Amino acid sequence: MQLLRIDWNVVFTIINLIVLYLGLRKFLIGPVTNVMEQRKQMIEGQIADANKLKAEAGDLKKQYEGMLAQAHEESAELLEKTRKSAQAEYENRINAADAEAEKIIEKAHKTVELERDKTVQDLQSQIAVLAVAAAGKVLGEASTNENNRLLYQQFLTKAMTQTANNYATVLLELGVTREAVDETKEILSLTQDLPKSLKSPVVSKQEKHKLIDRIFPESMKNFLKVVCDYGEADLLEEIFAAYDVVEAEKNGILQAKLEYVLEPTEDEVAQMKAYLAKKYQKDKVALALEKKPELIGGFVLRVGDIEEDYSMKGRLNRLERRLAWR
């Protein structure tokens, strides 16, 4: 019986533990568990809300990027339209300015040409009067309008030819080569605008100098500038022709010109050269040929200022003058 004796202290301890457990479960563990569960649900809800907000933010970002791309595209189109519009406006203004400038230049050219023609006409009249008066005193003849015109033309032609000869002599004395002269002639023949610019009084000396420096051979630049500065660029063609003559004379070559209606044969040209070589005692003869239908028939042979006129027109003119003398 002693073996089955209960230890009530142990029993009370166990009971106390059970009661403590039940109390803790009811009043502590249960509420804590509920709080933790609620907190868990709250956190999960917040996470879900955060994910939703994140998704919405992603959608908003995509919308923003789309709107931004569209804005960039529209801005680029607007910028391109504005650029094209500005370019068109610029071109229109440039074209209008060019047209206005052309009108002004054309008007200035016409004004200058009118003034120049008037000055030349006045000069022609004065020279013709003097020349006719002198010729009338020497020859004792009455001058007709045709004689006046002829004297005037002869005077001007001789004066211009002498000026061209002077320039040609200077050109040769400067040591300018034949190649440079020929290159200059070729450049001037490429376009009509270039000789017009050099001759035009509207174009300034500075602009002419810049043009010469940019285009022509080095050895010709100073010479061309001087010719332009003196307003005698219209004599360039005659100057180069005179250069051929002066150079030929320096080299012992006789320069002659045959004006014809019917082109001579090679044998006739050779005979003509032989005739000139014998007459002027030259070893070499350079004979230039030029067709002139206005001579009617025959030919005219020119050597410098010397003219041998065997043309039908020349004969008719001489016959007319003889009849006029009577």
Query: DSSP characters for 81-141?
Result: HHHHHHHHHHHHHHHHHHHHHHHHHHHHHHHHHHHHHHHHHHHHHHHHHHHHHHHHHHH--
As a whole number of angstroms, the distance between CA 187 and CA 266 comes to 32
Q: What is the CA radius of gyration of the chain?
A: 55
Share of the chain above pLDDT 90, in %: 10
Mean pLDDT over 57-69 rounds to: 80
Q: Tell the CATH topology of 252-326.
A: Glutaredoxin (3.40.30)
Q: Which residue has the higher pLDDT, 114 or 48?
A: 48
In the chain, where the domains are located: 10-55, 252-326
- Closest by CA to 302, choosing from 287, 324, 312, is 287
Residue 94 pLDDT: 63
Residues 6+ apart with CB under 8 A from 212: 198, 221, 224, 225, 228
Contact 297, 269 (CB under 8 A): no
> Is the predicted pLDDT of residue 177 greater than 80, yes or no?
yes
Contact 258, 290 (CB under 8 A): yes
Which residue stretches of the chain are H helix?
Answer: 8-24, 30-139, 145-173, 178-190, 193-199, 205-215, 218-229, 236-250, 266-280, 312-325
> Is the predicted pLDDT of residue 125 greater than 60, yes or no?
no
- Write out pLDDT tens, residues 179-213: 988 998 898 888 888 888 888 888 898 999 998 99
Mean pLDDT across the chain, nearest whole number?
A: 76
